Structure 1
Amino acid sequence: MAFHINRRDLLKTVAAGAALGALSPINRAMAATEVSWMTWENLAKPEYLQAFLDANAGIDIAKTFIGTDDEQFAKLRAGGADSVDLITPGLDKVEYYVESDLLQPIDFDKVTNGKLLYDAFKSSPLGKKDGKTYGIPFYWGINPVVYRADLMDEEPDWSVFFEGDKYKGKLAMRDYALEGIMIAAMYLGIPREEMFVMDDKQLAEIKKALMAQKKLLRTYWNSISDLTNLFASGEVVCAFSWVPPYYDLKARGLDMGMAKPKQGVIGWCDTLAVPAGVEGEKLDAVFKLVNYLLGPDYGKELAVGGPYAQSTSSARDLISDEQKDKIFISDLSIMDSFVWKQNPPRYNEWVALWNEVKAS
């Protein structure tokens, strides 16, 4: 049977096809407002963001992943701010961006979940200037002492890295001047208010302590996967570490411990910050995303998938007690022992001191 179509029917078919095309996912995406987010890969997993995309059909997210905070800062200073709408700088790094006029203040009228920030973040002067917030705390955690409980007699504190020979050659420290010198300062009992502005005499004491530490170390680690393998083999029994090796190795059946020294624990926090040039509909879309990232749907995903804690309490009641323990929000008094990283005015001298110790 022959198929015939006249010109009017043809035009109707073409018009219908055009209408369907206009509604297709591809064309919807082309018409959407695209937010370009420069961040860490582990924060932008598709399942973390799906609820936002489902609720905001007119917004898409383009993700660019970073390897270091310094890399992110360098990209923005080199003109990358024109093509980036949202970044994720460390809380201690925000001041560099502000000094370079790279950021605009957070609009809390549009980021209502910001009212749910934990008190420690509300009261912190970091990320702020002249009463305005330029980097709103996003997610946080601690860098503890992780150890093989089956290979150590008792829970360690910072002194294990500086005193005695019992674990000589089986200890590890991260190769990072800022944290390494902070740990030495906590061990020596240098007050927090003096830690980042230490004078020559204090830095001389730091150097002496670090020289003693070096003789006890198996290695300075850079890769967390390498450190995890050293723990698994028993070559390292105790290290200043990130949290993941503790859970990774426990899952393999090893008897692991996590210590939070009474002298203080290094706390870290990353923020959400908006480049200065973002405006109009794009800016509205960015603040919608920021509000979502501080909200309950994202917070629950992050708590399970990270596991990391948001800086707000928005998802707190949605998280199991076990998961609360994992992300340190069961007892928020832990924050009282935090020493938040800051930028020492003499940091170049800190780095020189650190490198001198390593080369000795």
Structure 2
Amino acid sequence: MFRRDFIKSAMAGTALGALGPAARAIASTDILWMTWENLAKDDYLAPFLNSRDISITKTFIGTDDEQFAKLRAGGASSVDLITPGLDKVEYYTASDLLQPIDFDKVPNAALLYNTFKNTSLGKVDGETYGIPFYWGINPIVYRADLMDEEPDWSVFFEGDAYNGKLAMRDYALEGIMIAAMYLGIPEDEMFHMDDKQLGEIKKVLMIQKSKLRTYWNSIGDLTNLFATGEVVCAFSWVPPYYDLRAKGIEMGMAKPKQGVIGWCDTIAVPKDVSGARLDATFELVNYLLGPEYGKMLAVGGPYAQSTSAARDSLSEEEQDKVFIKDLAVMDNFVWKQNPPRYNDWVALWNEVKAS
């Protein structure tokens, strides 16, 4: 698939735009970046474009699966930069779609937080193919005015005080991870559980189901359930916490010591990128891990970079909002991985829900 043909195809299926004024079209090098729309805002990228003879064409994705499918269908020869999830990089490397990150061309990578330097995810045989880019957590969010104390994962499995007022996301991977953290199953075993362990998981998930108000799919629906008091505590994404606090509702956010599910997207370079395009792409990667972009992402997102480049330029309130004021939160991260027996996980999850 030729580059121009890929762009035409992208325009038919996703939002696509070029950054900068019309003169950018004649820049010596154009980079095609396939990413999430919230990461490629014009103002985020303006400092990069204004100081270089480089233009950026961006095509937006709706899911990681969509991105992977496009690369496998021929996009790997047309796209210069992609944004796969940290736990999804292995799918791309297994299909030989990526090239290793050249750290000599990405000096800001030296500022990666240790959690991201040390993770084995995104790597093959010691080479990094997906460099951690931006991240966050999926915590417990709760109505602080309607609960007696800050909860941990046990609230979903023990006691009767909040029966019928709890919610869990309808996603087998995270739901079973939470049950495993509650049971104390170590992270190095969590994604490789045997039949006996999965049997224990099923038992506690059956208990959990009896306590739930609902399994949620839409974060908007969950936010509404919090607002009405129908749900007082849920495994959640962060937005309900801030949205409802802004409306005057006393909300809390808990980061259980048993483990916090972290999420992280990476930046990765398709295999066939070379020459001037490759040099320009690594310039962009370095910028995305640097202080200017990091500050705008933190304030505008709000999302945290994987590096400390912008940390000192943020207020304590801004740092707290993207979880970098107290870096100890990273000590309890449990990253999502792809269990070899995931079909069994999904079957178990569906059996519990149908019971």
Do the two structures share a fold, i.e. TM-score over 0.5? yes
Aligned to 2:330: 335
User: Quick check: which has more Rg, 1 or 2?
Assistant: 1
- Report the equivalent of 2:211: 216
1:31 Cα deviation (Å)?
4.0
- 2:60 is matched with 65
Task: State the one-letter code of the partner of 1:177.
Answer: A
Residue 79 of structure 2 corresponds to residue 45 of structure 1? no
TM superposition shift of 1:137: 0.5
Residue type of the alignment partner of 1:68? T
Q: Which residues of structure 2 form unaligned runs of 5+?
A: 1-19
Distance 2:106 2:317 in 1: 29
**Aligned residues of 2:150 and 2:254 also touching (Cα < 8 A):** yes
Q: How does 1:87-126 map to 2 (within 5 A)?
A: 87-126=82-121
Which runs of 5 or more structure 1 residues have no equivalent in the other structure? 1-23
Is 68-77 or 153-162 further displaced after alignment?
A: 68-77
User: Whole-Å Cα distance in 2 between the matches of residues 86 and 278 of structure 1?
Assistant: 9
The residue type paired with residue 313 of structure 1 is: S
- Is 2:60 aligned against 1:30? no
1:25 is displaced (CA, Å) by 5.0
For residues 161-214 of structure 1, what are the alpha-carbon distances to aligned partners after superposition, in whole Å with 9 as ceiling and x for unaligned? 112232122111111111110000011111111111100000011111111111
TM-score, normalization: structure 2?
0.92
Which of 46, 59, 76 matches 1:81?
Answer: 76
Shift of 1:27: 4.8
Q: Give how far 1:30 is off.
A: 3.4
TM alignment of 1:229-268, pairs within 5 A: 229-268=224-263
Using the TM superposition, give the Cα deviation of residue 301 of structure 1 relative to its aligned residue in structure 2, in angstroms: 0.5
TM-score normalised by L of structure 1: 0.90
3-state secondary structure, aligned to 2:77: helix
2:46 alignment partner AA: Q
* Runs of 4+ residues deviating >4 angstroms: none
**Quick one: distance in 2 between partners of 1:28 and 1:248?**
38
Q: Hey, what's the Cα distance between the residues in 2 that align with 1:62 and 1:86?
A: 11
Distance of 2:88 and 2:192 partners within structure 1 = 17
Asked whether the 8 Å contact 2:24–2:54 carries over to 1, the reply is: no
Tell me how large the CA RMSD over aligned residues is.
1.4
Could you tell me which residue of structure 2 aligns to residue 153 of structure 1? 148
Q: Which amino acid aligns with 1:199?
A: D
Deviation track 1:27-85 (CA, whole Å, cap 9, x = no partner) reads 541344221111111111222111111112x2122222222212211221222222221
Deviates more, 1:97-106 or 1:124-133: 124-133
**Displacement, 1:134?**
0.3
Taking every aligned residue pair, what percent have the same amino acid on both sides? 79
Q: Which amino acid aligns with 1:162?
A: F
Assess if the C-alpha contact under 8 Å between 2:140 and 2:233 holds in 1: yes
Which amino acid in the other structure matches residue 49 of structure 2? L
The corresponding residue for 2:159 is 164
Q: How many residues align?
A: 336
Alignment of 1:280-291 (within 5 A): 280-291=275-286
AA aligned to 1:191 is P
Residue type at the aligned position of 1:190: I
